[in-house]
Amino acid sequence: MTPPAGIFVVARLGGPPIGCGALKLKERKIGEVKRMWVAADARGLGVGRRILEMLETRARDVGVRTLRLETNRTLKEAQALYRSCGYVEVEPFNDEPYAHHWFEKTKI
């Protein structure tokens, strides 16, 4: 996840990491958000939203026009976050074995 293939961000709150996320750069101006994670004791603070916004900003900076991501059916909070940030559910675009929901956003 190093440029130009990708970008990895780490969120900290005064010390140790409390969250992370990655942007995998694909062909044709498409990016995939990967490995979004927020520590249990930091959930509810808006960390996930801020990580996602940072990844969207970085994607725009390198010319990405479409962002995609997938998530597991048990991650209800993640699904709600993605929907509230403008992602819409789409048909599967990969064969990720633990994914049950695929999302896309074209106006980043």
Query: Rounded mean pLDDT of 97-105?
Result: 97
Whether residue 44 lies inside any domain: the answer is yes
Confidence band of 30 (pLDDT split at 50, 70, 90): very high
> Domain range for residue 14?
6-105
Residue type, 23: L
What's the total number of domains in the chain?
Answer: 1
Question: What whole-number percentage of the chain has pLDDT above 70?
Answer: 100
Does residue 1 lie in a domain region?
no
pLDDT at 64 over 90: yes
Are the C-beta atoms of residues 27 and 40 closer than 8 Å to each other?
Answer: no
Predicted local distance difference test score (pLDDT) of residue 57: 96
CATH number, position 23: 3.40.630.30
Note whether 59 and 108 are within 8 A (CB). yes
Q: What's the pTM value of the predicted model, to 2 decimals?
A: 0.93
Residue 1 has pLDDT above 80, yes or no: no
The pLDDT of 29-54, averaged and rounded, is 95
CA 100, CA 48: separation in Å to the nearest integer?
A: 20
Q: Report pLDDT for 8.
A: 95
